[in-house]
Amino acid sequence: MVRIGLGRDLHRLVSGRRFLLGGVELPSPVGEQGHSDGDVLVHALIDALLGAAGLGDIGELFPPSDATWQDADSLHLLAIAFDKVKAAGWSVVNIDAVVTCEAPKLLPHRAAIRASVAATLELPIDAVFVKGKTNEGCDSLGKGHAVEALVVCLLERA
């Protein structure tokens, strides 16, 4: 059996924060505002995995009201979510993602981002892909006020 999952997240971009995608820090004068480290790609990925397995969502697993997750490393949260998905008998087939922001450019960091996510999910690098897009200057994303991630994943269970 296979199941598909979809996740979406958005974070405001503010000064004094790191700009993280998939656990990789990109050089940027602004970064993601958030209760945890704000890694928008990892958050969308967690929702895609949990959704595909029918195991809830990121807000249920890691409530912002719980101080445990203050400034949490999102890759650590991903590892916890992945353990739950594995415990339910699922393995990940592949991940595909789109990250939208005006800056910084994702492409120079794509290999590192793919490697980081693949390592956390015990996948070969070719099973993880991510594309960077701009919003052509439109709306909050295009004005550089926010970054958005969309992620789909495929799970399979024997």
Binding residues (CB under 5 A) for Zn ion: these are: 9, 43
Angle between helices 110-120 and 74-87 (to 10 degrees): 40
**Nearer to Zn ion among residue 61 and residue 93 (C-beta):** 61
Q: How far is the CB of 158 from Zn ion (least distance, A)?
A: 32
Q: How far is the CB of 144 from Zn ion (least distance, A)?
A: 18
* Structural contact between residues 50 and 85, judged by C-beta atoms closer than 8 angstroms: yes
* Structural contact between residues 10 and 147, judged by C-beta atoms closer than 8 angstroms: yes
**Nearer to Zn ion among residue 10 and residue 85 (C-beta):** 10
Q: How far is the CB of 115 from Zn ion (least distance, A)?
A: 22
Q: Where does residue 86 rank: exposed (0-12), middle (13-18), buried (19+ CB within 10 A)?
A: middle
Residue 80 CA to residue 144 CA, distance in Å, equals 31
Q: Give the closest residue to 37 by CA, choosing from 69, 77, 73, 75.
A: 73
Q: How far is the CB of 124 from Zn ion (least distance, A)?
A: 26
**Nearer to Zn ion among residue 9 and residue 148 (C-beta):** 9
Q: Residues with Cβ < 8 Å from 109, sequence gap 6 or more?
A: 21, 24, 26
**Nearer to Zn ion among residue 52 and residue 147 (C-beta):** 147
